[in-house]
Amino acid sequence: MYDRKKFISELEMRNPGEPEFIQAVSEVLDSVLDFVNADPEYIDARILERITEPDRVFMFKVEWENDEGEICVNKGYRVQFNNSIGPYKGGLRFHPSVTLSTMKFLGFEQTFKNSLTTLPMGGGKGGSDFNPKGKSDSEILRFCRSFMTELQKYIGPETDVPAGDVGVGSREIGYLYGQYKRLRSENTGVLTGKGRNWGGSLIRPEATGYGSMYFANEIVLKHGETLEGKTIAVSGFGNVAWGACIKASELGAKVVTISGPDGYVYDPDGVSTQEKWDYMLELRASNNDVVEPYAKRFGVEFFPGKKPWERKVDIACPCAFQNELNLEDAKALVASGVKYVIETSNMGCTAEAMSCFIENKIPFGPGKAANAGGVAVSGLEMSQNSLKYSWEASEVDAKLKRIMRDIHEACVADGTEADGYINYVKGANIAGFRKVADSMLDLGY
Ligand code: GLU
């Protein structure tokens, strides 16, 4: 039998100084402990020790030259966490907060998220502590070239397929893929999130945000309501927030906030016109990492240094960064009557915030389920690349919608509690874990 306290203290000893990784494992452990302890096969196989240890971690030096001609040095990472159900798959994050701990937490989460998509993808993650903020286009290009010069040694279309994440969008994927092709002379589609002219899938840029709203729609329908007329607080203003704003509008809901590191914008009419969506893309492409110009442009209020969770809304939808919504924010949302929380960022809520929502019986869709649409369409991009074919947008969108519906059903099946409350965290963790763990048992050690 596994004992929670003992397992976590041993995990901490094996992984010192990795708080994000310990937080991610603890969350999964809380959901799956009883399930694992009920099956002697898992216990005999030491499944928890094995599933929490990455297969391997690459750490490397990235040297590049800035526009002033100075040599800069960053850290590069690729964590190949688990390939039991398919090639390692997961994004690359360029952000100054990137450490081994954040890479491992994201790779661990990715393993279960990818399992939930029903597609054959293992889990991996990579990135760098490189800060894209304020960098010129040619600096980004030089950094990406240097990063890929090393990364290409560890990836391949059947072994490990990276994609984008925070700080890595279609421009960076282009520069990275260009360098890969220069070095390897291969058109294998080794990255996903590619441009539509050179092997990318339609709907991939929109997929994470669209998927999150499809998932929200399923949750709301399950609770006897619809998204029609619901107000939504979204955080972030990048690719994920953008897709969420578009799909929310299409489904009849109204996104009233977006945010950045500088504060949040309150747009009572909703972020619901093509002009506003296009402007979000412009803001992101400017590399300034501020959202205030949106308020000036559309004549709405900006709240410097504040988070959108102080607004009264029906649905809270964190779309930016890990631990962006804490206990205090959760209490404020509960007090103002929030009905649903759709965590669209990876581990967007602290453990305490998540518990607060669950204790208050608020349906809470965890990141690994709610944001799985992005990697799901990456999986569909891999399928199209293998077929040397491309599907129409409507075909990809229909597949995405079906995948999000299946993920919701899996959460309901494993997460419904005795009193009828659907614990989506528990459901997602058990459903994601079971497939990976059973594959590990099938494959031996
Ligand atoms: N970075 C995204 C995620 O967290 C997408 C990964 C991918 O498409 O491989 O799931």
CA of 336 to the centre of ligand 1 (A): 32
Residue 125 annotated among the catalytic residues of the structure: yes
Q: Please, what is the Cα angle at 122 between 116 and 124, to 5 degrees?
A: 110
pLDDT at residue number 18: 98
pLDDT at residue number 289: 92
pLDDT at residue number 381: 98
Q: Given a cut of 90, is residue 32 above it in pLDDT?
A: yes
CB 97 within 8 A of CB 75: no
Superfamily of domain 207-370: NAD(P)-binding Rossmann-like Domain (3.40.50.720)
Instruction: Assign domain 56-198 one CATH number from 1.10.3720.10, 3.40.50.10860, 3.40.50.1000, 3.20.20.140.
Output: 3.40.50.10860
pLDDT at residue number 104: 98
Q: Of 113, 125, 194, 230, which residue is the catalytic one? A: 125
Q: Is 92 in the pocket of ligand 1 (CB under 6 A)?
A: no
The structure tokens listed for 445 are 């050690």
CA of 240 to the centre of ligand 1 (A): 11
Q: Given a cut of 90, is residue 382 above it in pLDDT?
A: yes
pLDDT at residue number 57: 98
pTM of the model: 0.97
Distance CA 93, CA 91 (A): 6
Per-residue pLDDT, averaged over 35-58, amounts to 98
Cβ neighbors of 77 (< 8 A, separation 6 or more) are 57, 58, 59, 60, 98, 100, 103, 125, 126, 127, 128
pLDDT at residue number 192: 98
Percent of the chain at pLDDT above 90? Answer: 99
Per-residue pLDDT, averaged over 309-332, amounts to 98
207-370 has the same fold as 56-198 = yes
To which H or E segment does residue 125 belong? strand 123-128
The DSSP secondary-structure symbol of 156 reads: B
Q: Atom 9 (ligand 1): residue with closest C-alpha?
A: 90
pLDDT mean across residues, the chain: 98
Q: Is 90 in the pocket of ligand 1 (CB under 6 A)?
A: yes
pLDDT at residue number 333: 98
Distance CA 336, CA 317 (A): 15
Q: Given a cut of 90, is residue 444 above it in pLDDT?
A: yes
Query: Beta 231-234 vs 315-317: how paired, if at all?
Result: parallel
Counting from 1 in the atom list of ligand 1, the atom nearest the Cα of 165 is: 1
Q: Is 167 in the pocket of ligand 1 (CB under 6 A)?
A: no
Q: What is the pLDDT of residues 165-194, one digit of tens each?
A: 999 999 999 999 999 999 999 999 999 999
Q: Given a cut of 90, is residue 63 above it in pLDDT?
A: yes
Buried-exposed string 222-252: b where 16+ CB fall within 10 A, e elsewhere: eeeeebeebbbbbbbbbbbbbbbbbbbbebe
Per-residue pLDDT, averaged over 191-220, amounts to 98
Query: Taking the CB of residue 397, how many other CB atoms lie within 10 A of it?
Result: 19
pLDDT band at residue 393 under the 50/70/90 scheme: very high
CA of 169 to the centre of ligand 1 (A): 11
Name the residue of 79, 161, 345, 375 to mutate for ligand 1: max ligand atoms within 8 A of Cβ.
375
Q: Is 378 in the pocket of ligand 1 (CB under 6 A)?
A: yes
Q: Atom 8 (ligand 1): residue with closest C-alpha?
A: 375
Q: Is 375 in the pocket of ligand 1 (CB under 6 A)?
A: yes
Taking Cα atoms as reference points, which of 93, 272, 75, 269 lies closest to residue 165?
Answer: 93
Sign of CA dihedral 389, 393, 395, 399: positive
Name the residue of 378, 384, 400 to mutate for ligand 1: max ligand atoms within 8 A of Cβ.
378
CB 432 within 8 A of CB 368: yes
The structure tokens listed for 142 are 């030089």
Q: What is the pLDDT of residues 72-130, one digit of tens each?
A: 999 999 999 999 999 999 999 999 999 999 999 999 999 999 999 999 999 999 999 99
pLDDT at residue number 287: 87
To which H or E segment does residue 241 belong? helix 239-250
Q: What is the pLDDT of residues 410-439, one digit of tens each?
A: 999 999 999 999 999 999 999 999 999 999
CA of 376 to the centre of ligand 1 (A): 8
Q: Is 163 in the pocket of ligand 1 (CB under 6 A)?
A: yes
Q: Is 122 in the pocket of ligand 1 (CB under 6 A)?
A: no
DSSP string, 382-412: HHHHHHT----HHHHHHHHHHHHHHHHHHHH
Q: Please, what is the Cα angle at 207 between 407 and 315, to 5 degrees?
A: 70
Domain ranges of the chain: 1-53, 56-198, 207-370
Q: Atom 5 (ligand 1): residue with closest C-alpha?
A: 375
Counting from 1 in the atom list of ligand 1, the atom nearest the Cα of 378 is: 8
